[in-house]
């Protein structure tokens, strides 16, 4: 099946006529569809139409904007089954994971519908007969560039607050999950979103993504993806385009001396191997008190071996494939690096053709132990179900190793020692600290974002007022005088 871009209220092909194909990562013979491969001309057209549409949307007022988002939440709730099935087919995650993500969209739409009604300014003390106040207004045209690992929920938590604040949106989904971008736009249109307010431009990063950073008229850009791409975006944008970048992570779970090891293993299993390890907050390192090291490695090895891998559409499957062939090659390369560094793979690896559950991009949940302190597996982001385990002497060494990476997104600690937990939370250079829970999973009403190369730290994602500050701007007004 062939799909189209949505620009100016019309479904149209890429102006160049170019297309690209997308296939099921669990079954490479399964063609999902042909999608338009957009470029600079498509972006320029979208900027024109969205620029013309957003002032009317802003003028409708917060209740009208909230109403559309509430309707969109109701529609997505009715479509969870079929959209989740398509998400599994396109991205590879299990049906349970896909249903959870699809339901998350509805939650995001409802939350930000409420935020539309909570936008407000302030008044300020002035001499008698004068009033100073602030007005909050939309920034204008917001470009949204989203990744493939959470193609629905990441897009919803960017598009929903942008629309709630009165902006127009140019949406570029990942070329690995273009169908999910299509489905999300369809939901918003069916909810009554004005036709020209939201533009969908499918295409690959070097075409559409590069054009978005070079086209005048985009007032704000929000991006989630790799640090390499985020750094290119930041360099390309002019100073009058506000920019929000959420990028990589190399997240650690720290297991302290007092931890219950069965509990710790269950927490790490979920954080490291859920979603095929393809979450920006996924656990990729375990730093464990030395006396528990061998026992925890044994527990993690057993936990990994109990995970059933295969196509996410099958019953009884716990973990689907990696999303791309490039990811699979990256895993192979890092397992080779682990061997060179003296690491021991206690379980997992890439199955050979005779042992694979299909012709997709499959890798077994993998545990690597006995790594040196300077191991690349303890520093580099792999973005796969591969977890490196290292012994530490105390909480201070754990903090030092956890922070010894260019990323600073999420860290979790398994312990009931309040003093040690507070010490870690206060010292670590990570934007998210979790206690006795996996590094994955965050509340939509709490701020989210990292430090160092994990974020440009201009604004947090998710949460309430702090998010709306990015999608709106303040104007000061003086009355009297």
**Residue 431: which of 451, 401, 403 has the closest Cα?**
451
Cβ-defined contacts of 107-111 (< 8 Å, 24+): 107/73, 107/444, 108/153, 108/156, 108/157, 108/160, 108/444, 109/69, 109/70, 109/72, 109/73, 109/76, 109/156, 109/160, 110/69, 110/70, 110/73, 111/160, 111/444, 111/445
Q: What is the DSSP string of 189-202?
A: HHTT--TTTEEE--
Q: Which residues 6+ apart lie within 8 Å of 10 measured at CB?
A: 195
Query: Do residues 462 and 150 lie in contact, with contact meaning Cβ atoms separated by under 8 Å?
Result: no
Bridge partners for 242 per DSSP? 220
Q: Cα–Cα distance between 143 and 46 in angstroms, integer?
A: 10
In angstroms, what CA-CA distances link 435 with 83, 252, 394, 425? 33, 12, 17, 9
Sign (positive/negative) of CA torsion 161, 141, 151, 327?
negative
Give the DSSP letter string of 13-38: --TT--EEEEEETTEEEEEEEEEE--
Contact 164, 112 (CB under 8 A): yes
Residues paired with 472 in a beta bridge = 138
Q: What is the set of active-site residues? A: 246
Tokens found for residue 117: 């009604």
Residues 6+ apart with CB under 8 A from 326: none
217 backbone dihedrals φ, ψ, rounded to 5°: 105, -5
What are the CA-CA distances from residue 119 to residues 42, 65, 160, 457 (Å)?
A: 32, 12, 14, 22
The whole-angstrom separation of Cα 293 and Cα 286 is: 10
Residue 235 half-sphere exposure, CB side, CA atoms within 13 Å? 7
Left if phi > 0, otherwise alpha if psi is -120 to 50, otherwise beta: which for 127? beta
């Amino acid at each position: 099946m062939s799909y189209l871009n949505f620009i100016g209220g019309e479904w149209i092909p890429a102006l160049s006529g170019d297309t690209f194909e997308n296939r099921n990562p669990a079954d490479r013979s399964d063609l999902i569809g042909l999608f338009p491969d957009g470029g600079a001309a498509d972006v320029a057209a979208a900027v024109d139409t969205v620029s013309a549409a957003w002032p009317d949307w802003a003028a409708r007022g917060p209740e009208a904007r909230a109403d559309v988002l509430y309707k969109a939440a109701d529609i997505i709730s009715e479509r969870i089954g079929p959209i989740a099935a398509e998400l599994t087919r396109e991205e590879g995650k299990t049906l349970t994971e896909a249903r959870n993500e699809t339901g998350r969209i509805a939650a995001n739409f409802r939350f930000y519908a409420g935020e539309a009604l909570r936008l407000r300014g302030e008044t300020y003390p002035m001499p008698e007969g004068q009033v100073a106040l602030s007005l909050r207004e939309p920034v204008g045209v917001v470009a949204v560039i989203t990744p493939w690992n959470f193609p629905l929920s990441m897009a919803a938590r960017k598009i929903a607050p942008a629309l709630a604040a009165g902006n127009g949106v140019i949406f570029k989904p990942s070329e690995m999950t273009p169908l999910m971008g299509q489905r999300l736009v369809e939901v918003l249109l069916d909810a009554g979103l004005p036709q020209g307010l939201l533009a969908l431009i499918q295409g690959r990063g070097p075409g559409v993504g590069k054009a978005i950073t070079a086209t005048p008229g985009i007032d704000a850009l929000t991006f989630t993806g790799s640090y390499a791409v985020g750094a290119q975006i930041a360099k390309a944008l002019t100073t009058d385009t506000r920019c929000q970048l959420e990028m990589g992570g190399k997240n650690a779970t720290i297991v302290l001396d007092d931890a219950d090891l069965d509990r710790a293993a269950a927490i790490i299993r979920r954080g490291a191997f859920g979603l095929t390890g393809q979450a920006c907050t996924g656990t990729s390192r375990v730093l464990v008190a030395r006396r528990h090291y061998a026992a925890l490695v044994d527990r993690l090895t057993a936990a990994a071996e109990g995970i059933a891998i295969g196509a996410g559409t099958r019953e009884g499957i716990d973990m689907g494939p990696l999303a791309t062939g490039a990811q699979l090659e990256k895993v192979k390369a890092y397992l080779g690096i682990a061997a060179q560094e003296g690491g021991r793979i206690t379980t997992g690896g890439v199955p050979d053709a005779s042992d694979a559950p299909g012709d997709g991009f499959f890798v077994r949940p993998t545990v690597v132990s006995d790594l040196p302190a300077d191991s690349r597996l303890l520093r580099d982001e792999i973005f796969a179900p591969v977890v490196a385990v290292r012994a530490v002497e105390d909480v201070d060494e754990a903090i030092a190793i956890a922070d010894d990476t260019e990323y600073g997104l999420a860290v979790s600690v398994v312990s009931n020692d309040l003093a040690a937990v507070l010490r870690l939370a206060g010292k670590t250079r990570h934007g998210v600290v979790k206690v006795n829970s996996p590094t994955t999973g965050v509340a939509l009403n709490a701020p989210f974002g990292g430090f160092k190369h994990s974020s440009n730290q201009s604004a947090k994602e998710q949460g309430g007022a702090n998010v709306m500050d990015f999608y709106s701007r303040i104007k000061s007004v003086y009355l009297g005088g």
